[in-house]
Structure 1
Amino acid sequence: MTLLSAKTRYYFQRILPFGIIWLVLAWMFLSTEYAALGDFAHGPKTAIKVTPLILLFACSAVFVIGCIVGVLEVFFVNRLFEKRSLPQKIIGKFCIYAVLLSILILVSYLIAASIEMDTSIFDKKVWKRYTEFFFSITYVSTLLQVGFSLLLSLLYAEISDNLGSQVLLNFFTGKYHKPTRESRIFMFVDMKDSTTIAEAVGSTTYFKLLQSYYYDFSNAIINNYGEVYQYVGDEIVITWKVKKGLNQNYCVRCFFDMEKALQNKSKFYLRKFGVVPQFKAGMHCGEVTTGEIGALKKDIFFTGDVLNTTARILGLCSTYQKNLLLSKELVKQLSLGSEYVAEDLGSPQLKGKVNSINVMSVEQVSQ
């Protein structure tokens, strides 16, 4: 039994790096200041004297502030700038956070000063100390440090949004710096009649439809521990490590949750685009080699026969008029129970492959 739900874990992994970035930078600034001064006793009188208790409070406060920025970025602020250019995003967000952080600096300094002076935060001496701090070089230095931390965390947020937080983590940890063999489940998802829809609504409207289409899949993918490998036009490739995908049938459940998400938004799609998109999917599992690849642009790349086979299984959806097809090899490893019905469709010859593969359709039993 997992302590955190998939969604909670996903957001935790997105927010935590903000706190870590702020904390690491704070340590760097503190170390630099210590190296320049020799010791903190020779610092400006407006600076809070560093004691073990003050250091503990400062580290905790900086980490919490970073996490607060992360929460605001993930859940609120980023949505305000979704359709803006990168410079507009950075400048706009920076201004919003600057106001908030000015308030947090005020509160943090007052608390630290009260700890150092061993008196109440409302004591006049504490507020006098803050007034001196506000008009000092120490305040300017603090603003520069906070500004740099904010800028770096915002750049991290943009890179994470574009690459994906899991891919970015793999790059930082060097997990796939050397090719690694691993067993994975892949699901190739393709929009039905996409060419007809694109011609009917026009390229600009179709692009907006794709944005909504992919966005509405997000919760289903997150809740079922899926990882988005690629967006290719109107096709999306989702992957799981085998153990995770088989657990509670997450890989199969993801498909039907995605289907339900579009059904729940059918009125929205009809009103805005005049059509409700539908999709089909093929699934298979097997061993792949995973690693970083690329000369002008690095990417995490999967290679192996399993991807080609999955693509061919997807192509059979139209032949059999089914929305979801799986290899029998994958179905045998699942525990579908009474929630799903599987139908054996035989062993068709897959295009471009010498050996045939046994294919099955899976449908969800109506609740």
Structure 2
Amino acid sequence: MKRGTFLKLKQVGFIVIAWMLIGLIIAIYDHLVLHTQVSLGTATNYSFFISVLRNMGAGLIGALLGGSLLVFYIDEKFRDKPYAYTILIVFICFVLIVGFITIVMGLTIVPYQLKKPLTDPITQQAVLSFMTDSYPLKSGLVWAFIVALTQLLLQVSSKFGHETFFHILIGKYNTPKAEKRIFMFLDINASTSIAERLGNERYHSLLKDFFADITNPILENKGSIYQYVGDEVVVAWSYKDGLEKSHCVKCFFDIKMTIERKRDKYTQLYGFVPTFKAGIHSGNVIAGEVGIVKRDITYSGDVLNTTSRILGKCGEFKEEVIISADLLSLLSSAKEYSSRLLGSIRLRGKEREIAILALLPQHVHSANI
């Protein structure tokens, strides 16, 4: 299973659990309201168990249908649309889903309560009363808010990145933590001349398409997008994920293949296919949450400066991707790549130097960028 699909299934799973819990809370709330002094009391056929079943069942069906719709369709097809526009689309779909859930609940709960088959005229009349009751309207108002909030959270999650958003929610980095991380700095070649040739709007469109197209290769190689800086993207891995199957190196060449497969698209839209270069390095960082109005998780440490300097060496040596020798020595499954020693760079403010190597697949010869 592709990692992108796996992440979306995890999102649907969270929605299923959350919506079923909300259904339980609604049932408890209704039960408490019905037993207050300002209430006329419960109906003769009221059952707390049936209420729980009804609300949690609605949450389950709604999450499986609506949650999947939000994650796999709305979030994909309308990611570039304003939030208000997506809410309108979600509302229309939601009305249809509520109607479907009401029908399903009526056809299952009413016969169970009456202990009569659906073919019985009394049962049929009770089903009709169930569907025309004000209860579905009340539930619709409540769930409309829940669906809108869920869609908002999905968009916020996309804004921060799923992993970052989850870590902010649980407060993992409220206290700074020392971690070992692998970083890849990747940017487009000749971006200044490209921007002058295309103009600001088309250049922005190019960046948007490029960053969108490289997202799946990054996710499939277990990377997370740390930040975008102009025409540059910074990708981060934990040591475990980055070293596994040489994901941190394979990611670059998977991105290259992805852009190559989209050659016709870029040629038609922009008149050329963007090329790019990358520097890859690893080391210790301090990860911590920063910001008040805008909160984010940032990494600090020499490894980031060193990776940026390695990226700068790509132009000097005319290589596509350069990796530090320290990191390459840790990649036990990197035999499919050949390397060529380029020299060493000194760490800023330190005496120690690190060796850097050009990297390319075994069957490819070094090419100028």
TM-score by length of 1: 0.90
Tell whether the 8 Å contact from 1:26 to 1:62 is kept in structure 2 after alignment.
Answer: yes
**What CA RMSD, in Å, does the superposition of the two structures yield over aligned residues?**
2.5
Say which of 232, 236, 239 aligns to 2:236.
239
SS of 1:297 mapped into structure 2: coil
**Matched residue, 1:322:** 319
**Matched residue, 1:206:** 203
Question: Relative to structure 1, is the Cα distance of residues 323 and 125 closer, same or farther in structure 2, using a 3 angstrom cutoff?
Answer: farther
User: In the TM superposition, what is the alpha-carbon distance from 1:316 to its structure 2 partner?
Assistant: 0.6
1:125-136 to 2 correspondence within 5 Å? 125-136=122-133
SS of 2:319 mapped into structure 1: coil
**Number of positions where the alignment pairs a residue of Structure 1 with one of Structure 2:** 362
Question: Relative to structure 1, is the Cα distance of residues 278 and 14 closer, same or farther in structure 2, using a 3 angstrom cutoff?
Answer: farther
Distance 1:115 1:178 in 2: 53
SS of 1:84 mapped into structure 2: coil
Say which of 182, 187, 199 aligns to 2:184.
187
CA deviation digits over 1:81-121, x for unaligned, max 9?
33322222222322222223322232133222233334445
Tell whether the 8 Å contact from 1:48 to 1:112 is kept in structure 2 after alignment.
Answer: no
Distance 2:188 2:42 in 1: 63
User: In the TM superposition, what is the alpha-carbon distance from 1:350 to its structure 2 partner?
Assistant: 6.0
Q: Which consecutive residues of structure 2, in runs of 5 or more, have no partner in the other structure?
A: 365-369
Question: Relative to structure 1, is the Cα distance of residues 327 and 173 closer, same or farther in structure 2, using a 3 angstrom cutoff?
Answer: same
Tell whether the 8 Å contact from 2:27 to 2:55 is kept in structure 1 after alignment.
Answer: no
CA deviation digits over 1:161-190, x for unaligned, max 9?
212221111111111111111111011111
Match status 1:34 vs 2:31: yes
SS of 1:277 mapped into structure 2: coil
Distance 1:126 1:194 in 2: 70
Say which of 16, 19, 41 aligns to 2:16.
19
Distance 1:203 1:213 in 2: 15
Could you tell which deviates more after superposition, 267-276 or 340-349?
340-349
CA deviation digits over 1:250-273, x for unaligned, max 9?
111111111100000001100111
Match status 1:50 vs 2:48: yes
**Matched residue, 2:85:** 88
Match status 1:77 vs 2:97: no
Tell whether the 8 Å contact from 2:102 to 2:136 is kept in structure 1 after alignment.
Answer: no
Question: Relative to structure 1, is the Cα distance of residues 35 and 350 closer, same or farther in structure 2, using a 3 angstrom cutoff?
Answer: same
Tell whether the 8 Å contact from 2:8 to 2:72 is kept in structure 1 after alignment.
Answer: no
Say which of 300, 305, 322 aligns to 1:303.
300
Question: Relative to structure 1, is the Cα distance of residues 199 and 135 closer, same or farther in structure 2, using a 3 angstrom cutoff?
Answer: same
Tell whether the 8 Å contact from 1:313 to 1:350 is kept in structure 2 after alignment.
Answer: no
Q: Which consecutive residues of structure 1, in runs of 5 or more, have no partner in the other structure?
A: none
Could you tell which deviates more after superposition, 215-224 or 80-89?
80-89
Match status 1:294 vs 2:300: no
Tell whether the 8 Å contact from 2:341 to 2:358 is kept in structure 1 after alignment.
Answer: yes
Match status 1:150 vs 2:142: no
